[in-house]
């Protein structure tokens, strides 16, 4: 039985160019299997095979509570369209499935986060690596709930690292409700209650986008961060060293990308644009690929794609390029 928040994917979204029917000319829309969980179950993976499971998180209630620009609710729809024509560069035996969406109904963000967590945990237990497309960055707390549930059930005692590409810490205290600005504070409190170390690394932080209190909170919680101005060729040794130290310290990684980490001319379609964000240049892409080459990333998401504010689909295309690297890895 599916949750009331569940919405199956319309197969017509996954359409695009067809260059032939041999695998060497396939595009994602020819490879993806669309699963309607109202009528089917998540397919089992064959022994030794890998699979990516796409999930949409159609929610912007957290952005609304955080007084951001609305429109991210349509992010999963636009990102599917942007990825449909991507070429297939992964083994034929690897599964790529789309299991539908979790919606936010009647402003019940917390309910949507819980249902997303249940979906993520179920996919991980089945052996898939979830790729969740948002939606606001409130996606992060729901996604984390699922990853945490999976580790507690299947890998007790193993450590989780949370790696966020973001211009913001998102360490606000709920005031009084959680929002898209609070998910990592909520995670930090969860770790604190359990007496465990909060392994949280943020890459792309912009000083003019975070108050001094947020820096203080980050320091109090032991958060590691790399400033956006450090994502350069000149600073690549230092940033790589900091990333490697973080990766080596944990057993599993949940990786989340907020599209507002990028400069506004590369990613105009976001809830809170950053004129001085980072560039998706070769230095950044090497860093991004290094995260996935670690083999420790078990679940990923992309947040804050706002199609209503996008220009020439730049943000959607950039999010699709990141998704390409995640799946290819």
pTM above 0.95, yes or no: yes
Q: Is 251 annotated as a binding residue?
A: no
Q: What is the pLDDT of residues 191-210, one digit of tens each?
A: 999 999 999 999 999 999 99
Q: Write out the residue range of the structural domain in which residue 37 sits.
A: 6-328
The tally of domains found in the chain comes to 1
Q: Is 258 annotated as a binding residue?
A: yes
Distance CA 323, CA 312 (A): 19
Assign 274 a pLDDT band (cuts: 50, 70, 90): confident
Q: DSSP strand E in 185-307: where?
A: 199-205, 224-227, 252-258, 297-303
Q: Is 166 annotated as a binding residue?
A: yes
Assign 158 a pLDDT band (cuts: 50, 70, 90): very high
Q: Is 170 annotated as a binding residue?
A: yes
Q: Is residue 1 part of a domain?
A: no
Closest residue by Cα to residue 118 from 98, 148, 161, 75:
148
Q: What is the pLDDT of residues 9-19, one digit of tens each?
A: 999 999 999 99
Q: What is the pLDDT of residues 101-144, one digit of tens each?
A: 999 999 999 999 999 999 999 999 999 999 999 999 999 999 99
Closest residue by Cα to residue 254 from 150, 112, 118:
150
Assign 48 a pLDDT band (cuts: 50, 70, 90): confident
Q: Is residue 219 part of a domain?
A: yes
Distance CA 227, CA 223 (A): 13
Does position 1 have pLDDT exceeding 60, yes or no? Answer: no
Q: What is the pLDDT of residues 177-190, one digit of tens each?
A: 999 999 999 999 99
DSSP state of 90: S
Mean local confidence (pLDDT), 261-284: 94
Q: Is residue 206 part of a domain?
A: yes
Distance CA 268, CA 22 (A): 37
Q: Is 143 annotated as a binding residue?
A: no
Report residue 255 as tokens: 């990786």
Name the β-bridge partners of 102: 6, 57
Q: Is residue 156 part of a domain?
A: yes
Q: Is 24 annotated as a binding residue?
A: no
Assign 323 a pLDDT band (cuts: 50, 70, 90): very high
Residue 94 backbone phi and psi in degrees, to 5:
-75, 135
Distance CA 321, CA 233 (A): 21
Q: Is residue 12 part of a domain?
A: yes
Does position 293 have pLDDT exceeding 90, yes or no? Answer: yes
CATH number of the domain to which 120 belongs = 3.40.800.10
Distance CA 210, CA 241 (A): 24
Q: Is residue 241 part of a domain?
A: yes
């Amino acid at each position: 039985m599916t949750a009331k928040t569940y919405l199956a994917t319309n197969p017509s979204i996954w359409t695009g160019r067809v260059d032939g029917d041999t695998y060497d000319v396939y595009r994602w829309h020819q490879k993806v299997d669309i699963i309607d969980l109202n009528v089917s179950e998540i397919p089992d993976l064959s022994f030794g095979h890998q699979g990516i499971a796409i999930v949409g998180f159609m929610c912007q209630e957290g952005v609304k509570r955080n007084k951001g620009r609305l429109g991210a609710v349509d992010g999963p729809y636009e990102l599917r369209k942007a990825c449909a024509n991507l070429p297939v560069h992964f083994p034929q035996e690897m599964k790529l499935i789309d299991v539908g969406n979790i919606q936010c109904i009647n402003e019940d963000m917390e309910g949507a986060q819980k249902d997303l967590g249940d979906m993520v945990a179920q996919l991980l237990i089945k052996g898939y690596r979830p790729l969740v497309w948002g939606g606001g960055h409130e996606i992060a707390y729901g996604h984390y709930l699922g990853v945490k549930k999976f580790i507690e059930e299947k890998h007790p005692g193993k450590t989780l690292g949370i790696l966020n590409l973001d211009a913001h810490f998102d360490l606000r205290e709920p005031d009084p409700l959680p929002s898209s600005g609070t998910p990592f504070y909520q995670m930090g409190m969860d770790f604190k209650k359990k007496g465990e170390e909060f392994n949280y690394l943020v890459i792309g932080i912009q000083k003019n986008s975070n108050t001094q209190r947020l820096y203080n909170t980050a320091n109090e919680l032991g958060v590691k961060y790399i400033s956006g101005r450090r994502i350069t060729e000149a600073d690549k040794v230092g940033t790589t060293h900091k990333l490697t130290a973080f990766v080596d310290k944990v057993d599993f990684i949940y990786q989340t990308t907020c599209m507002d980490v990028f400069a506004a001319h590369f990613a105009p379609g976001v809830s809170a644009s950053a004129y001085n964000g980072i560039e998706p240049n070769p230095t950044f892409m090497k860093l991004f690929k290094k995260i996935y080459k670690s083999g420790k990333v078990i679940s990923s998401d992309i947040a804050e794609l706002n199609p209503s504010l996008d220009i020439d689909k730049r943000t959607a295309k950039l999010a699709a390029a990141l998704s390409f690297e995640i799946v290819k890895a």
